[in-house]
Structure 1
Amino acid sequence: MDFTLPPEIDSLRLQVRDFVEREVIPLEADPESYNEFDNIRLALCDEMRAKARTAGLWAPQMPKSRGGLELPLVGWAAFYEEANRSIFGPVTLNCQAPDDGNMSVLNKVLPSDEMKDRWLQPIIDGEARSSFVMTEPHPGSGSDPGGMMLTRAEKRGDRYVVHGRKWFISGAAVASHFILVARTSDDPRRGLSAFLYHRDDPGWRIVRRIANMGPDEHGGVCELEFDGLEIPEDHRLLEEGDGLRITQIRLGPARLTHCMRWLGLAKRCMEIARDYVEEREAFGSRLIDHESIQMMLGEIAKDIQIGRLLVMNAAWTIDRGGLARKEVSMAKIHVADTLIKAADTAIQLCGAKGYSKDTVLEWIYRYARCAKLVDGASEVHKMVLSRAYRKEGNDFWRWGE
């Protein structure tokens, strides 16, 4: 397998790097760039998104016919990594969660151009935000939606009526288009179905925006209540009982795109730490000349490269038609740990400056902790790997699918 990027993708990667360096990273130092949730102000975000579209750096995962770049997954990896050298990069280039995963699944499963024009195109164009509504409060669904989901969608004629609660729903406070997963039967394998609804539809509400250690993405993470939301039958995605299939179509690549972005953040942590220790002196020499400092930087550099190889291997496998379940799980576990380690090490090397808001390290550090939780806790992914190993034995390490 050859992970050399095709010339056109490498050229695009360098364009992203230049755009982020020139247009986006400088915004991080200005307190006026931020909203009350430590993210880029929406008005400024819209301004930067217009610049990105003009530069031809927009929606890398979407078809060219709909205004995207139509890159293969390996191309996403190169693009997303460069985008997230800035904390504002992915949202500027329309490759941020949860819209990224929602666009991808809608592009795959919506049955007609008419449906795509209504539900997908506004997200691609940046005119609407979206949200994926699955996780529930205890004792409802978390990492085991098939067995634990309590929110029900009851079929009444040509409509489904929804009752239940969801929480930690990313982006809900600003979303217009929602993908909802709810129980339609007690079948252990085909008991869930997926639906589309709009924020203006009656019968649901946002109970609260859940405060967390943040920083918050646009729309935060919210708790929702459904008390009679009616969804037309033709707003169901695929067939009744295909809810788990929808989640797998969405979450596999979405987990991998998280890793792609996190590698960019981990590299940014290294850049900030390297620049500081190259200049800072202590005990008569620069910090970079101390062997202990070199070992800390070297270890993170090694972990980032391992993460990149895991991500690229998973992307390569998917591009070739494979499911890459264990490849994605390995990447998710390792890159989550690497991001946390990179942020922690960079703060340690920068000392009080790293702990302060003089750099984005403290922002990345607070954000990084969710990496071991979102889209499946690390322990769940380790269970996936254990099951695969028990089933495959030494074939776990076979070459290719």
Structure 2
Amino acid sequence: MRPEYEEAAMDYHIPAHVEDLRAAIARFVEREIVPCEQDPACWDAHDNIASGALESLRAKAREEGLWCLQLKPETGGRGLDKVGMAVCYEEMNRSIFGPVVFNSAAPDDGNMMVLEKAADGAQKERWLKPIVEGRVRSSFAMTEPHPGGGSDPGMMLTTATRKGDSYVVRGRKWFITGAEDAEHFILVARTSDDERRGLTAFLFHREEPGWQIERRIGIMGPEEHGGHCELVFDGLELPADRILLGEGMGLKITQMRLGPARLTHCMRWLGLAKRCTEIADEYAKNRFGFGTRLADRESIQIKIGDLAMGIEVGRLLVMKAAWALDQGSFARKEISMAKIHVANLLHKAADVAIQINGARGYSRDTPLEWIYRYARQARLVDGADEVHQMVLHRHFASEGWDFWKWPVTP
């Protein structure tokens, strides 16, 4: 072997401490959370885990050191990097109720990570610490109804107008995840017409006057805690110390918040896709028809084998993007590829698993119908498929053949 090939440039091993956490999460999910899925008393009216059951499980997760793994130790977490998060989040979401138990579910997950990076000391103490401790929930208010900003934040119409040492907010937001149960909010509003520095991120509390939840928007469901709401701002007044990172830095906040959040969605969705495959495989091994076990039919083997391959492709895309983030890259191309593939994979996994399970899959005897309804949003949230495909075309148009270039070890 030539000397330059003696040391491998790629290493797919994970650190021992990450494997220990993954195994502990797997045991916790199997022992504590999956049984909760099967107990009607654990469900709330919006097809999510009820608050009583959630708080009990959260207390156990804290006791076992499985709380807020994604945050730095000084913030209250275990200091996992993005690669470690990919391993652990996938394991958490073997259960439909998993991530929220470990305080690793959207929108709190992304809000905590952006506040950890962007907030100053006083802001972390007031706005971040209570979320980390599980005492409050949070929400990120950016998306607006037509003709306002959606995937394109440059179209944002909600304004924050300077008034002495304060800012007065007027406008409308919608599909704001978790708003009904949230106490702490991150709000993005327009402070000028500058193309790059026209948006600013603010912090506010639900009890402050000058805004209201107009409605909780009914969706195909199931719903996150606090639903998806339409908010109206008609004079919310915020002091200047509520600005996050600085005036005009709102676009940067959205980039810091949404890039990693898209990837953490993918990490969790891989766990759900694996659960679908697990349920399908288990049923096929035990169901007989016309003298033959389903698992012995070539058509079923092809379906399950194709899902297994699709999941592994998704894991590789997620891991590459996670690694790139850990190296300091924005990983926009890598995250877009992972987002498109895993969102579509999740929908396919639920659909195939329902088909293999037949009427059982369509019923509520398994979580498959829950996952199927949930999966349809995956191709829309945090940028629709088509938006990410345009992002990839933009990269290809500028990079050409280098679109597929391998990074070279120094």
TM-score range, shorter chain: over 0.9
1:335 to 324, 334, 342: 342
Show the counterpart of 2:120. Answer: 111
2:217 to 210, 217, 232: 210
CA–CA separation in structure 1 for the residues paired with 2:309 and 2:238: 50
Query: SS of 1:97's equivalent?
Result: coil
1:304 to 300, 311, 326: 311
1:347 to 342, 354, 359: 354
Residue 26 of structure 1 pairs with residue 29 of structure 2: no
CA–CA separation in structure 2 for the residues paired with 1:4 and 1:301: 20
Equivalent residues of 1:73, 1:316 under 8 A apart:
yes
CA–CA separation in structure 2 for the residues paired with 1:240 and 1:400: 36
Between 64-73 and 53-62, report the one with greater CA deviation.
64-73
- Measure how far apart 1:203 and its partner are: 0.3
Paired AA for residue 172 in structure 2: R
Deviations 1:100-154 (A, max 9, x none): 0000000000122x221111011011001000000011111111111x1110000
- Measure how far apart 1:3 and its partner are: 2.1
What TM-score do you get using the length of structure 1 for normalisation?
0.99
Paired AA for residue 156 in structure 2: M
| Structure 2 gaps, min length 5 | 1-9
Show the counterpart of 2:292. Answer: 285
Deviations 1:142-199 (A, max 9, x none): 11111x1110000011100000000000000000100000011111221111000000
Residue 74 of structure 1 pairs with residue 83 of structure 2: yes
Residue 141 of structure 1 pairs with residue 115 of structure 2: no
Deviations 1:356-389 (A, max 9, x none): 0000000000000000000011100000000000
Show the counterpart of 1:255. Answer: 262
Show the counterpart of 2:16. Answer: 7
CA–CA separation in structure 1 for the residues paired with 2:355 and 2:28: 29
1:95 to 101, 104, 108: 104
Equivalent residues of 1:3, 1:312 under 8 A apart:
no
Residue 357 of structure 1 pairs with residue 364 of structure 2: yes
Paired AA for residue 322 in structure 2: A
Deviations 1:82-107 (A, max 9, x none): 00000110000000000000000000
Show the counterpart of 1:38. Answer: 47
Report how many residues are paired: 399
Residue 84 of structure 1 pairs with residue 77 of structure 2: no
- Measure how far apart 1:66 and its partner are: 2.6
- Measure how far apart 1:400 and its partner are: 2.3
What TM-score do you get using the length of structure 2 for normalisation?
0.96
Equivalent residues of 2:75, 2:116 under 8 A apart:
no
Show the counterpart of 2:6. Answer: none
Query: SS of 1:226's equivalent?
Result: strand
Deviations 1:303-342 (A, max 9, x none): 0000000000000111111111000000000000000000
CA–CA separation in structure 2 for the residues paired with 1:128 and 1:325: 31
Query: SS of 1:193's equivalent?
Result: strand
1:243 to 250, 256, 269: 250
Equivalent residues of 2:192, 2:198 under 8 A apart:
yes
Query: SS of 1:180's equivalent?
Result: strand
1:121 to 129, 144, 148: 129
Show the counterpart of 1:132. Answer: 140
- Measure how far apart 1:296 and its partner are: 0.3
Which runs of structure 1 show a deviation greater than 4 angstroms over 4 or more consecutive aligned residues? none
Residue 395 of structure 1 pairs with residue 399 of structure 2: no
1:232 to 233, 239, 244: 239
Between 65-74 and 340-349, report the one with greater CA deviation.
65-74
Show the counterpart of 1:265. Answer: 272
2:199 to 177, 185, 192: 192
| Structure 1 gaps, min length 5 | none
